[in-house]
Amino acid sequence: MILVPILSCVHRLAIADTASTQSGTVATASPSDQLLEIVVTAEKRESTVQATPISITAISGADLQARGITDLVTVAEQTPGMSFRTAGPGQTEFEMRGISSTGGSVGTVGFYVDETPITPPSFGAVGKVVIDPSLFDLKSVEILRGPQGTLYGAGSMGGTIKVVTNQPDSSQFDASAQLTGSGTDGGGFNRSGNLMLNLPIVKDVAALRLVASSDYRDGWIDRIVVNPFPYPSNVGCPPSFFVGCVRGNVAAGPITRVIPKVNWDRVNSVRPTLLVAPSDDLNITISALYQQMNLGGYDNIDVPPGCEAGVLCGHYQPFDVPEPFSDRVKLLSGVVKYTGLGVVELTSATSYWSRNEQQTQDATEAIQNALGTPFVPVPYTEIDESAQFSQELRATSRGTGRFQWLAGLFFSNFHYRLVQNSANSFFADPVLNPQGVLYDINVPYDTKEYAVFAEASYMITPFWKLTAGVREFRYRSEDEWVESGVFAPYGAGTLFTQASGNSDHGTNPKFNLAYIPSGDLTVYATASKGFRPGGISEPLPLTGTVSCLPSLKAVGFTGTAQTYGPDSLWNFELGVKARSDEGRVSIHGDVFYIRWNDIQQVIPLSCGYLLEANAGNARSYGPEVEIQAKLTPALTVGVNAAYTKSYINQPAAFAGVPPGQPLFNISKYTANAFLEYQHPVSSQWTLTSRVTESITGPQWDIAYAMQQLPSYALTDLRVSLGRNDGKWTATAFVQNATNKMAILTVNNTLFTENIPDLTRATVNQPRTIGIQMDWHYR
């Protein structure tokens, strides 16, 4: 229904545009009176957001800086139709349009840095998380909603995120720097520094651009050691076999130690890019990224006790078991573009990246509740190693003719290894388990994908454009599970090994019809398919005290299947993009309907494990809208919103949910509004004030059982004083001005069994007040 008022506005804008054109009195506005157009590469050729007939949100690098956006979670909070699941920096997975990525070994949202696809871990404890790059000195961040499988592959069935970096400029020297300092309520001093140098090597031929960043965010969450630690109660609560389903009163102590502000975060990165253009026809770009992230702990609090008045807020534990996290990313890519053939541009994009994540979690409480033993310290360590080589070759038509096309080949070789280990001599058995191993696992996982793709558009008339595309792909996944310990499938006395494979092929078609009567109006209809490969299941313990066999039988399984199948969807969309003839108002809106079949989901078992399976069919639909208006040269307002109805309409019999159950981690609604006012204070300086309000609706998540997370709203304030020539800007800001504590997600960091008496909830950063200095020399 939201399109009705939008189409009404579009009609009025179109009439005004046509009338002014026919009368020969087209108004022209100065640049300060207009909304800026952003150039995007969503269709793998340059265009503007207005002229691209898909649902896309693009935030320019300048706008990222003006809005104080430094991470992708904030991008998601301010983008309609996006949801996320997170445990803190470097530990976030994203969803769009209700296409949850809770299940499966492949995400539902593709992630790109320029031309490089970054595949998330397959079995990581924190989920299918993407890297968390610095957003300093970017050209833009592009959010493409809906299936992008034709151009971006099988991992983009819900959408695609593109981080587009600024390229070297061989014509002149350029440099910029940024320093930020702030304080967080309940935390300490945060600081960051960013530097960009653009160095021409040979004028108009070669240049080097170097971006370096260093960021430290202090923590605000404590680890609280309680000794003696209270045991859980309500023994044998159905249907659980756990020792207890009600946590003891940990807040009552006795507290023996408090380790404060453990969730600090330190990130250092460097991003060099070399451009060589030996001729007008040949352009070679070589870029690299190195980033090292270290965290002292998760952004998690325990529920219970939560953060009620008079209660220490953090993680309560029987012993001092630290929970560090580290994430190291290395990337090298080369892009070669050749236009010497005249009507065709040839592009080769080659990349290799590696990622190493290491984390440790306190499993003491979970082990006690599962085995009924006394509390003994159990650190649980996980290592996720990922590496991928990818190659894309494509040919793209040039010129402005009625017929435009592109075609290409793609290959990727993804390697992933999961290592987990936990042990304590208390659980030692001199014969079967001399080292007291609870869980030891080593899993190599490899996927190769081959694809051929093509997309073409034709202007049927001067106003109507038809676009069609297809991607044919084939993949093969292989793994080998090696497990031992108390929680292994056959217990501590038997080494478990399992080799599995999964292969398939698919077709992703796309059809788009657009009506473009002018540069200020685009109306389009799209039908597109998304496809996600099947996966290989994690084996579950089938014997001993922690056996999941009774839990599996309760939902109709006699054991754990080695694999689960692919899932696919069809997306149907009607959208409109309109802009006033003076460029002061823009309205982008769409409605979509998605049919999702054989969805890969996680099913909670009473043994505390999660079963991955094809859990039935789902539907997702809703409207999305973005409106911006330059009310005066000084005053700009913007509003965006989305409502997403995403649910299982035909659940599998074993899923244990009724028809209509909402999908996990999908916000029912999102909204964002901003007001920006610019006021000249002299001929050289301008004062800019900005207030932003982001609203995230309720969503369902899963810990031991499904639970609904409440909605929340966050308010940010910024006041900047900048030179009109752009050389200097000083900013004072307040993030989360109302000091709202929101629960973002739950239990997405548990390696071991989910236990019924404890939920670990990820919370947002409290009120943060700071200043920022920006300098630019050119």
pLDDT in tens, 347-374: 999 999 999 999 999 999 999 998 889 9
Q: Which residue, 571, 562, 619, is CA-closest to 592?
A: 571
pLDDT of 560? 67
pLDDT in tens, 290-347: 999 999 999 999 999 998 878 888 999 999 999 999 999 999 999 999 999 989 999 9
The proportion of the chain whose per-residue pLDDT surpasses 90, expressed as a percent, equals 74
Count CB neighbours of 123 within 10 A: 23
Widest Cα–Cα separation across the chain: 94
Q: CA geometry: angle at 98 spanning 93 and 104, to 5°?
A: 50
Domain covering 3-777 in this structure, CATH number: 2.40.170.20
Terminal Cα-to-Cα distance of the chain (whole angstroms):
49
pLDDT in tens, 138-149: 999 999 999 998
pLDDT in tens, 734-775: 999 999 999 999 986 666 667 889 999 999 999 999 999 999
Q: What is the mean pLDDT of the chain?
A: 90
The tokens of 12 are what?
A: 């009025």
How many CA atoms within 13 Å lie on the side-chain side of 603?
29
pLDDT of 240? 67
Q: How distant is the alpha carbon of residue 168 from its chain centre? A: 27
Across the range 690-707, mean pLDDT stands at 92
Is pLDDT above 80 for 8? no
Residues shown for the chain: 778
Burial of 233 from C-beta contacts in 10 A (0-12 / 13-18 / 19+): middle
pTM (2 d.p.): 0.92
pLDDT of 751? 61
User: 314: which residues sit within 8 A by CB, 6+ positions away?
Assistant: 221, 222, 223, 224, 262, 301, 302
Give the integer Cα–Cα distance in Å for 524 and 576: 6
Q: Which amino acid is at 747?
A: N
pLDDT in tens, 253-282: 899 999 999 999 999 999 999 999 999 999
Give the integer Cα–Cα distance in Å for 487 and 352: 36
pLDDT in tens, 510-565: 999 999 999 999 999 999 999 988 888 888 888 877 788 888 888 888 776 778 88
Q: CA geometry: angle at 113 spanning 111 and 119, to 5°?
A: 40
